Amino acid sequence: MVLALRKAGVTDTRVLTVIEQLPREVFVPAPFRHAAFDDVALPIGHGQTLSRPAVVGLMTEALQLTPRTKVLEIGTGSGYQTSVLAMLSRRVYTIERHRPLLAMAEQRFDQLKLFNITTKAGDGTLGWKEQAPFQSIIVTAAAADVPPVLADQLAEGGVMIVPIGNDASSQAMLKVVRVGTGFTTKEMRAVPFVPLVPADTKKEAV
């Protein structure tokens, strides 16, 4: 798997080491565990997927994390990307709109003894204003455009990585950097993600 990450362009040795050490099979539903270490996306239920390790590596590397970084993640999913972030930063705040997925992810965090993760069930499109600003924000679902609410929660010099595009066949990973009251953006590469949508609080409460 690490060879696949290197081939995809991941060069940060800290990112590569964490992904090599983290047991991806813990995050994969039983029927798909035979493919846990393949460089493929895998279904995790509720219409969501566990991203390819190469995509996880590229997005993580682009955040330029340090042991002092405070990170906001939109879309906890299985908790795999969250765990990678937690092993590379000071604290991760993560939001998931599907409560059953979040509950399973929280069990995995406990199992792996990752205690620098704070979770919330809710609407990720709103961010986490009470904990802002963040040095890094990662969005693990595709938005139609750069979400202004999330961009406003970036600290000065902070980095947001977000997939942009309504069609999975034409999405691109965007790097957004806060500079004063403005932002710079850089398109990185094509990536397929599920869409970023607001939480249906009534439905998700069931």
Residues noted as catalytic: 51
Q: How far apart are CA 54 and CA 97, in angstroms?
A: 24
CA 201 to chain CA centroid, nearest Å: 21
Q: Are strands 134-139 and 117-121 parallel, antiparallel or unpaired?
A: unpaired
114, 21 in Cβ contact below 8 A?
no
What tokens appear for 160 in the block?
A: 């947001």
